[in-house]
Amino acid sequence: MTVVHQHNARQQGELLPISDQDKDDCLRSSSAVHKQNILDLDRAALETWVMAMGEKRFRATQLMKWVHQLGEIDFQQMNNLSKNFRNQLEQTAVVQNLQVASDQRATDGTRKWLLQLDDGNLIETVFIPEDDRGTLCVSSQVGCALDCSFCATGRQGFNRNLTAGEIISQVWLAKRLLDETIPDEEKGSVYKITNVVMMGMGEPLLNFDNVVTAVRIMMDDFAYGLSKRRVTVSTAGVVPAMDRLADILDMRLAVSLHATDDALRNELVPLNKKYPLKELIAACHRFVDKQKSRYRITFEYVLLAGINDQPEHARELIHLLRGLPVLINLIPFNPFEGSGYKTSLPSVIKRFSEIINQAGITTVVRKTRGKDIDAACGQLAGKIRDRSRRSRRFEQPRFGMR
C-alpha cells in the first residue's frame, strides 16, 4: 500500500494510507497546466513576475488594484492593460479563490464562513462587526500542530499550511460577501474590514513565509491598504519566528500566554516545553525594541475556571510582564464538547481584571461574539480531510472535569 507523510513536525513519521480519491486528485492535477495564482504574490513578487513577461513594473500595481480592490477575476475585463497582456494573463495566470461552503450569521452580526480548499479541506474565517471597527479573524493553517489543551482547533490535529493565496483569499471573499449583504438592522456597526487578526485556525508563525506575504498584501496600498496598527499576528510563542518577524515587518503582535509558570503553561500550551516563559518574555522585549512603531504587545489570557483565574495568577501576570509595553486581553474560556474545562464566573473575571487594572496595565475582557454559530475564539474547527490519528484519539474527551 502507498503511504504519504503528513506535513507535521510534531507527528513526524506518522504514516497515513493514501485514498483512491487522493490518487485520482493527483492524476488530475498532474495533467493540468500550472497557472500562477495572482493571490499568491505580494507586490514585489508580482512586479518580478510581470517583468519576466516583458511588461513594465507598474503593470503589477494595476493588476493588484483590479484583483484586490475591484475584485475582478476576469483578466479580459482589465481594460487598462493591453489586449496582448490580457491574453497572456489568461493563458498563464488565474485568480484562484476558496469556495464558500457555508455562510453563517449570528444574532450579534458576527459572520462565519466555512471555506473549502482545492484539496477538500475546510477552514473557517470570522467577521466581527463592532461600533468603531470591523475585524476579520483569518486562519493560517488547516488544523494546528500545537495541541493547546483548551482549543478546539488543536483537537483535529494538523494537516497543512495554507498558501499565501489561500490566506488572502479569506480577505478577498469576506470583503465581497460583506459588501453584498449589509442588513438594515446592522447598519449601526462597521460592516467593512478595518482590522485583520491572524487568530483563526493554526499557528501563523509556523507558516511564516506565507503569512508574511499575505500580511504584506493586506497592508499594501494597492490592495487592502490596512495600516500596520490594524493587522495583528497572534502566536503561542514561536520564539525564533518572533525574532524574524520583528526584523522584517512593523506590525502588531499578540502572544497567547495563558499561564505564568512553566509547569502550567507546559500543560496548556505544550509549545512552552520548547520555548519556556523566560525565553518567550525575552523575545517579547526584543520584539518591542526592534519595532519602529513600538506598539504594545497584546497578551491573550484565556481564563479557565479554577486553573489560572485566581488573584495570585493575576499578581504573577503583573510581575511577569513588568517593564514591557503591554495590553492584556482576558478571554473567558469558550467551551466546546469534551474540552474538560469550565468558564470562570463573571465575578472571578471581574476580580482578575481589577487586580491588573489597578497595577496600571490596560486590560480588556474580550466579549464572546458569535456564540450561536460557534464562531468564538478557540471554537473554529473546520474539517480536515485526512483525519490524523491524533484527531481520532480526541474523539473521546481527553480531560476529566477539574
- Nearest approach, Cβ of 124 to ligand SAH (angstroms)? 12
Cell of 251: 506590525
Residue 95 to residue 36: CA distance in whole angstroms: 8
Does 295 engage in binding with ligand SAH (CB under 6 A)? Answer: no
Residue 113 to residue 155: CA distance in whole angstroms: 20
Does 232 engage in binding with ligand SAH (CB under 6 A)? Answer: no
Residue 80 to residue 190: CA distance in whole angstroms: 32
- Pair 36, 63: CB distance under 8 Å: no
Please say if 124 is a catalytic residue.
yes
Please say if 377 is a catalytic residue.
yes
Does 141 engage in binding with ligand SAH (CB under 6 A)? Answer: no
47, 55, 124, 166: the active-site residue: 124
Q: Of 254-293, which residues contact ligand SAH (CB under 6 A)?
A: 256
Does 302 engage in binding with ligand SAH (CB under 6 A)? Answer: yes
Q: Spell out the residues 6+ positions from residue 392 whose beta carbon is closer than 8 angstroms to its own.
A: none
Question: Which uninterrupted H or E stretch holds 142?
Answer: strand 141-143
Among 334, 363, 388, 391, binds ligand SAH (CB under 6 A): 334
- Nearest approach, Cβ of 151 to ligand SAH (angstroms)? 3
Q: Are strands 252-256 and 99-105 parallel, antiparallel or unpaired?
A: unpaired
Among 66, 75, 113, 150, binds ligand SAH (CB under 6 A): 150
- Nearest approach, Cβ of 14 to ligand SAH (angstroms)? 21
What burial letters (b/e) apply to 294-303, b meaning 16+ CB within 10 Å? ebebbbbbbb
Does 236 engage in binding with ligand SAH (CB under 6 A)? Answer: yes
144, 148, 284, 377: the active-site residue: 377
Strands (E), 52-110: 93-94, 99-105
- Report phi then psi at 180, rounded to 5: -70, -30
Nearer to ligand SAH, 272 or 291 (CB): 272
Nearer to ligand SAH, 147 or 386 (CB): 147
Does 151 engage in binding with ligand SAH (CB under 6 A)? Answer: yes
- Nearest approach, Cβ of 158 to ligand SAH (angstroms)? 11
Does 60 engage in binding with ligand SAH (CB under 6 A)? Answer: no
- Nearest approach, Cβ of 174 to ligand SAH (angstroms)? 17
CA end-to-end span of the chain, whole Å? 44
Cell of 72: 475582478
Nearer to ligand SAH, 78 or 251 (CB): 251
Residues with a known catalytic role: 124, 377
